Amino acid sequence: MNPLRVLIATSNRQVVGGVEVYLRSLIPSLMAKGHQVGLLYEFPEVSPGPVVDAPDADIERWTAGSVEGTLRLVREWQPDVVYGHGLSSHGLEAAIARRFPMVLFAHGYYASCATGTKRH
């Protein structure tokens, strides 16, 4: 398999829940397989504590800004695939999905249940 340029798109850089715990193990695993990893997040860390990417990891990182500005950054990095983990900006997530190959890991019930809480 040829190495890929994988852009991880997520809401938080700081570990605040299960999504970020998953990304903490995913990123080094992808890198160990020879893939180049980039990290796009909406919210930087707000207090000391663990982040999804090791601060010394050899990856590109961006804080999402405007939709247009963020798309420009993504386009310049030229990912082979965007691995989405639930951006809070649905407009940004949709814009990225329209322009780049994207896989979404549905960690929760967003968009599968009207309330987002999986009510029966």
Q: What is the pLDDT of residues 26-53, one digit of tens each?
A: 999 999 999 999 999 999 878 888 999 9
CA–CA distance from 80 to each of 4, 21, 71, 87, 92 (Å)?
6, 24, 14, 19, 18
Confidence band (pLDDT; 50, 70, 90) for 55? confident
Span 101-105, mean pLDDT? 87
Domains and their CATH numbers in the chain = 5-104 (3.40.50.20)
Q: What is the pLDDT of residues 76-97, one digit of tens each?
A: 999 999 999 888 898 999 999 9
In contact, 70 and 57? CB cutoff 8 Å: no
Strands 60-63 and 5-12 turn out to be unpaired
